[in-house]
C-alpha cells in the first residue's frame, strides 16, 4: 500500500489538532526537564539546601520552595521527570511485548487457543489491577525494575484484546489467504502481513497506556512503593501529605506536573487517533 | 435465567480459584521464610518456633499438598493470622468491609449519575460551548491523580473553607446515635466519595457522549423524528435509553478500578476500609494481611461483575436471544 503519502497526511491531520499540539509541547517540555535535570541541578535532589518549609517565590534560587527536610522542590520535579517517563515508556513497551503476541496467537488460531488465551486475559482483567500492582511491588521489593514489571503485568490485557480483534478481522482477507497459499510460515504471515496493519490502533493505545502507566507509577510511589533511590513526583506528593495544613506547596506542585504530563499524553493519544484512524474518529462526533 | 446465573457463579469461582493459586505463589516470592510470612512475622524467630509454624502450615509437605491445604483454608474463610494487628486476617477485613462498600457504592452512584447527565448534556450540545466545557472538564479529571485531587480537596474544603472534615469515618467521641450518627457519617463521606467519583465521572461522560451521538445517527431515531416527536422525548426515550447499554457494560468493567481507587482515597482520608487496611499492611510489610485484602477485593469485583451481568440481562432481554 502507498504508505508515505498517507503518513504525511496523518502528520498534517495530527498537527491540525490544537489539543494534540499543546500535548506535544507539554511532553517535549517534560522530556527537556528530564534531560536538563542533571545539568541544571547537578546536586542530589535529596540534599537539604535551604531551611525546611520555605514557601514558594521567596528566593529566586528556589522558586518552588522547599519541603519538610529543606529539599529543593524544583530540583525534585526536574529529577522526577526522568523516572516518570522511563517507567511509563518501558512498562508500556513491556506490556506490548506480552500483549501483542498473545493477541496475535488468539486471533490467528481461534478455537481452543483463543478460548484459553482469552480466559487467561479475562483473569487479569478481573483482578483489581492497582491492588495487584501493590502486592507485586511490595513482594518484589520497591525498585525501578519491580515497578516496571508490576505495571506491565497489569497493563497488557487491553493490548491482547485489541490485537486479537484486529487479527481476527484481517486473517480472512485475500492477501493473507494468498500468503497462506504460497506456503509462508505462520510467523512470517503474522509478522509481515498482519501485524504491520494493526500498527495504528496499537500506537494510539500505547500513547494512552503511557499516560496510565505514569499515573500508576505515581500512585505506587505515593504509597511509598517507589524506588527508594530515585526522586519521583508521586513520592513528593506523599512526602508532603502529612504537612498539608502548614505547607500546601509541597504536595501541590508535583501533583500538578503529573496532571499536566498525563493530560498531554491523553491529548496526543486523541490527536493520533484522529490522524491514524480517520474513519473511527468521525464516528464519535 | 437460573442456568445463566449458575454458569456465571461457576465461572466466578474458577477465576477466584486462579487468584488464590496466584496468591499461593506470591507468598513464596515474598522475602523471608514462607512460614514466617504466613505467621505475619517478618524477622527471624527461634528455630523451634519456625519448625512448629512449618508443620502448622503444612510447609514440610510437598508443594501440591501445600497448595491444596492453602485453598482449603481460604475456602473455609481462614485467611491466616496477622501478628502485627493481633487478629485473624478474616476478622480484620470483615470489620473494615462495610466502610469500603459504603464509599465505593456512593462514589459509583455519584459518578454514574453525574457522568450520564453531563455526557447527555454534552451530546445534545455537540460542538457548542457547553460541549467543549464538559468534554474538557472530563479530560482534565481523567488525567488527575486521585491521591492528589484528594489532597487538594482537603486544602480547599477542610483547611481553607472549613466546610467538611478531612479525615475519618465519623466524629470521634461525639456520641451520636441513630439519625445524627448517619448524618455525621454522611458529612465525613462527602469528600472521599466525591474525589473517588470524579475520575469515574469523566469515564462515563466520555462514554455516554460518544454512545449517544452514535445512537442519534441511527434509523429509528430518524423515524421518531419523522413521526413528529419532540426533541426532548426523542433524546430521553429513544437515544438515551439505547445509549445507556454500553455505559452499563463499562460500569461493570470499572469495578476493579474503583476498588483500586478506594485504596488511595481511603489512605488520604483515613477512611477505615479495606483500602486503608491494605496501606497499613504495606507499611508494616504484613504480607499475609496484604494478600488477604487482595483476595477479598478480587472477590468483591467478581461479585460486582456477576451482579452487573445479571442486571444487564434484565435490562436488555435481547442479550438472551443473542446467545
Q: What is the pLDDT of residues A220-270, one digit of tens each?
A: 999 999 888 888 999 999 888 888 888 888 889 999 999 999 999 999 998
3-state secondary structure of B300: helix
**Is residue A110 included in any domain, yes or no?**
yes
Using an 8 Å CB-CB cutoff, list chain B residues near A240.
151
**Is residue A270 included in any domain, yes or no?**
yes
**Which residue of chain B is at minimal alpha-carbon distance from A266?**
B143
Instruction: Identify from A23, A30, A127 which residue to disrupt to test chain B contact, counting B C-beta atoms within 10 A and taking the largest count.
Output: A127
ipTM value: 0.86
- Compute the distance between CA of residue A281 and CA of residue A268 in angstroms, rounded to an integer: 14
Cα separations in angstroms, A107 against A114, A176, A203, B89: 7, 13, 19, 42
What is the band of A151 on the pLDDT scale with cuts at 50, 70, 90? Answer: very high
Of A128, A141, A251, the CB nearest to B301: A128
What is the band of A71 on the pLDDT scale with cuts at 50, 70, 90? Answer: confident
Average pLDDT over residues A124-135: 90
**Is residue A134 included in any domain, yes or no?**
yes
Task: State the pLDDT at residue A2.
Answer: 42
Specify burial of residue B289 (Cβ count, 10 A radius: 0-12, 13-18, 19+).
buried
Using an 8 Å CB-CB cutoff, list chain A residues near B205.
none
Instruction: Identify from B131, B145, B146, B307 which residue to disrupt to test chain A contact, counting A C-beta atoms within 10 A and taking the largest count.
Output: B145
**Is residue A59 included in any domain, yes or no?**
no
Q: Is residue B260 within 8 angstroms of chain A, CB to CB?
A: yes
3-state secondary structure of B87: strand
Q: Which stretches of chain B drop beneath a pLDDT of 50? A: 321-323
Distance from CA of B264 to the nearest CA of A (A): 8
Task: State the pLDDT at residue B272.
Answer: 92
Distance from CA of B52 to the nearest CA of A (A): 24
DSSP letter for B33, please: -
Place of cell 481452543: A112
Distance from CA of B198 to the nearest CA of A (A): 14
Using an 8 Å CB-CB cutoff, list chain B residues near A128.
255-257, 259-260, 294, 297-298, 301
Interface contact A259-B148, CB threshold 8 A: yes
Q: Which residues numbered 98-117 in B keep a CB inside 8 Å of some CB on A?
A: none
Task: State the pLDDT at residue B67.
Answer: 82
Task: State the pLDDT at residue B41.
Answer: 58
Q: Is residue B253 within 8 angstroms of chain A, CB to CB?
A: yes
B150: its cell numbers: 484528594
- Compute the distance between CA of residue A28 and CA of residue A241 in angstroms, rounded to an integer: 29
Of A126, A244, A262, the CB nearest to B155: A244
What is the per-residue pLDDT across A188-221, written as a single tens digit (0 to 9) for each?
A: 888 888 888 888 889 999 999 999 999 999 999 9
Q: Could you count the other beta carbons within 10 Å of the beta carbon of residue A61?
A: 9
What is the per-residue pLDDT across A2-26, written as a single tens digit (0 to 9) for each?
A: 445 555 677 887 888 888 899 999 9
- Compute the distance between CA of residue A56 and CA of residue A63 in angstroms, rounded to an integer: 6
Interface contact A237-B145, CB threshold 8 A: yes
Task: State the pLDDT at residue B222.
Answer: 84
Q: Is residue B284 within 8 angstroms of chain A, CB to CB?
A: no
Cα separations in angstroms, B79 against A141, A167, A254, B28: 23, 42, 38, 16
Distance from CA of A205 to the nearest CA of B (A): 15
- Compute the distance between CA of residue B102 and CA of residue B186 in angstroms, rounded to an integer: 10
Q: Which domains does chain B have, with CATH numbers?
A: 97-285 (1.10.3720.10)
Count how many domains chain A has: 1
Task: Flag whether pLDDT at A285 surpasses 60.
Answer: no
Task: State the pLDDT at residue A284.
Answer: 39
Interface contact B139-A263, CB threshold 8 A: yes
Interface contact A224-B283, CB threshold 8 A: yes
- Compute the distance between CA of residue B275 and CA of residue B44 in angstroms, rounded to an integer: 28
**Is residue A20 included in any domain, yes or no?**
no
Q: Is residue B279 within 8 angstroms of chain A, CB to CB?
A: yes
**Which residue of chain A is at minimal alpha-carbon distance from B299?**
A127
Query: HSE-up of B127 (CA within 13 Å, CB side)?
Result: 3
Task: State the pLDDT at residue B323.
Answer: 42
- Compute the distance between CA of residue A220 and CA of residue A209 in angstroms, rounded to an integer: 16
Q: Is residue B21 within 8 angstroms of chain A, CB to CB?
A: no
Place of cell 533511590: A229
Task: State the pLDDT at residue B39.
Answer: 63
Distance from CA of B195 to the nearest CA of A (A): 15
Say which CATH number the domain at A266 has.
1.10.3720.10
Using an 8 Å CB-CB cutoff, list chain B residues near A215.
143, 145
**Average pLDDT score over chain A:** 87
What is the per-residue pLDDT across A22-67, written as a single tens digit (0 to 9) for each?
A: 999 999 999 998 998 888 888 888 887 777 877 888 777 778 888 7
**Is residue A50 included in any domain, yes or no?**
no
Domain that holds residue A272: 66-281
Task: State the pLDDT at residue B319.
Answer: 57
**pTM for this prediction:** 0.88
**Is residue A34 included in any domain, yes or no?**
no
**Is residue A158 included in any domain, yes or no?**
yes
Amino acid at each position: 500500500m502507498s504508505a508515505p503519502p498517507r503518513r504525511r497526511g496523518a502528520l498534517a491531520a495530527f498537527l491540525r489538532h490544537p489539543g494534540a499540539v499543546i500535548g506535544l509541547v507539554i511532553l517535549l517540555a517534560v522530556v527537556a526537564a528530564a534531560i536538563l535535570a542533571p545539568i541544571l541541578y547537578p546536586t542530589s535532589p535529596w540534599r537539604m539546601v535551604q531551611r525546611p518549609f520555605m514557601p514558594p517565590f521567596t528566593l529566586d534560587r528556589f522558586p518552588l520552595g522547599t519541603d519538610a527536610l529543606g529539599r529543593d522542590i524544583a530540583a525534585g520535579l526536574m529529577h522526577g521527570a526522568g523516572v516518570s517517563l522511563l517507567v511509563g515508556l518501558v512498562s508500556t513497551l513491556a506490556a506490548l511485548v506480552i500483549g501483542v503476541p498473545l493477541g496475535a496467537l488468539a486471533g490467528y488460531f481461534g478455537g481452543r487457543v483463543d478460548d484459553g488465551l482469552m480466559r487467561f486475559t479475562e483473569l487479569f482483567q478481573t483482578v483489581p489491577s492497582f491492588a495487584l500492582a501493590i502486592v507485586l511491588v511490595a513482594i518484589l521489593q520497591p525498585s525501578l525494575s519491580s515497578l516496571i514489571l508490576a505495571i506491565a503485568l497489569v497493563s497488557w490485557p487491553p493490548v491482547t484484546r485489541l490485537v486479537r480483534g484486529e487479527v481476527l478481522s484481517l486473517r480472512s482477507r485475500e492477501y493473507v489467504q494468498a500468503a497462506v497459499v504460497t506456503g509462508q510460515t505462520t510467523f512470517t504471515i503474522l509478522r509481515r502481513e498482519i501485524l504491520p496493519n494493526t500498527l495504528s490502533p496499537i500506537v494510539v493505545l500505547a500513547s494512552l497506556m503511557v499516560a496510565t502507566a505514569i499515573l500508576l507509577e505515581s500512585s505506587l510511589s505515593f504509597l511509598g512503593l517507589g524506588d527508594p533511590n530515585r526522586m519521583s513526583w508521586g513520592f513528593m506528593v506523599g512526602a508532603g501529605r502529612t504537612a498539608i495544613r502548614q505547607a500546601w506547596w509541597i504536595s501541590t506542585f508535583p501533583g500538578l506536573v503529573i496532571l499536566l504530563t498525563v493530560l498531554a499524553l491523553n491529548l496526543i493519544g486523541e490527536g493520533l487517533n484522529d490522524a491514524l484512524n480517520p474513519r473511527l474518529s468521525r464516528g464519535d462526533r | 435465567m437460573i442456568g445463566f446465573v449458575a454458569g456465571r457463579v461457576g465461572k466466578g469461582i474458577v477465576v477466584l480459584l486462579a487468584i488464590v493459586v496466584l496468591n499461593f505463589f506470591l507468598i513464596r516470592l515474598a522475602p523471608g521464610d514462607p512460614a514466617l510470612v504466613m505467621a505475619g512475622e517478618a524477622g527471624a524467630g527461634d528455630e523451634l518456633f519456625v519448625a512448629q509454624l512449618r508443620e502448622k502450615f503444612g510447609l514440610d509437605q510437598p508443594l501440591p499438598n501445600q497448595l491444596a491445604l492453602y485453598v482449603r483454608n481460604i475456602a473455609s474463610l481462614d485467611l491466616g493470622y496477622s501478628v502485627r494487628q493481633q487478629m485473624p486476617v478474616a476478622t480484620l477485613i470483615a470489620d473494615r468491609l462495610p466502610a469500603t462498600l459504603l464509599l465505593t457504592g456512593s462514589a459509583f452512584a455519584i459518578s454514574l449519575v453525574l457522568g450520564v447527565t453531563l455526557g447527555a448534556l454534552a451530546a445534545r450540545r455537540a460542538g457548542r460551548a457547553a460541549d467543549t466545557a464538559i468534554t474538557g472538564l472530563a479530560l482534565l479529571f481523567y488525567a488527575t491523580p486521585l491521591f492528589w485531587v484528594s489532597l487538594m480537596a482537603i486544602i480547599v474544603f477542610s483547611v481553607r473553607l472549613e466546610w467538611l472534615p478531612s479525615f475519618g469515618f465519623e466524629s470521634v467521641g461525639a456520641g451520636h446515635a441513630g439519625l445524627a450518627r448517619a448524618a455525621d457519617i454522611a458529612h465525613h463521606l462527602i469528600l472521599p466519595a466525591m474525589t473517588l467519583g470524579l475520575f469515574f465521572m469523566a469515564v462515563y461522560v466520555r462514554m455516554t457522549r460518544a454512545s449517544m451521538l452514535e445512537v442519534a445517527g441511527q434509523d429509528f431515531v430518524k423515524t421518531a423524528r419523522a413521526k413528529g416527536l419532540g426533541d426532548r422525548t426523542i433524546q430521553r426515550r429513544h437515544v438515551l435509553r439505547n445509549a445507556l447499554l454500553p455505559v452499563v457494560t463499562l460500569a461493570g468493567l470499572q469495578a476493579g478500578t474503583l476498588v483500586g481507587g478506594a485504596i488511595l482515597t481511603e489512605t488520604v482520608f483515613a477512611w477505615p476500609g479495606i483500602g486503608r487496611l491494605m496501606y497499613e499492611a504495606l507499611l508494616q510489610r504484613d504480607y499475609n494481611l496484604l494478600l488477604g485484602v487482595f483476595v477479598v477485593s478480587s472477590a468483591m469485583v467478581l461479585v460486582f461483575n456477576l451482579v452487573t451481568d445479571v442486571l444487564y440481562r434484565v435490562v436488555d432481554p435481547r442479550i438472551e436471544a443473542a446467545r
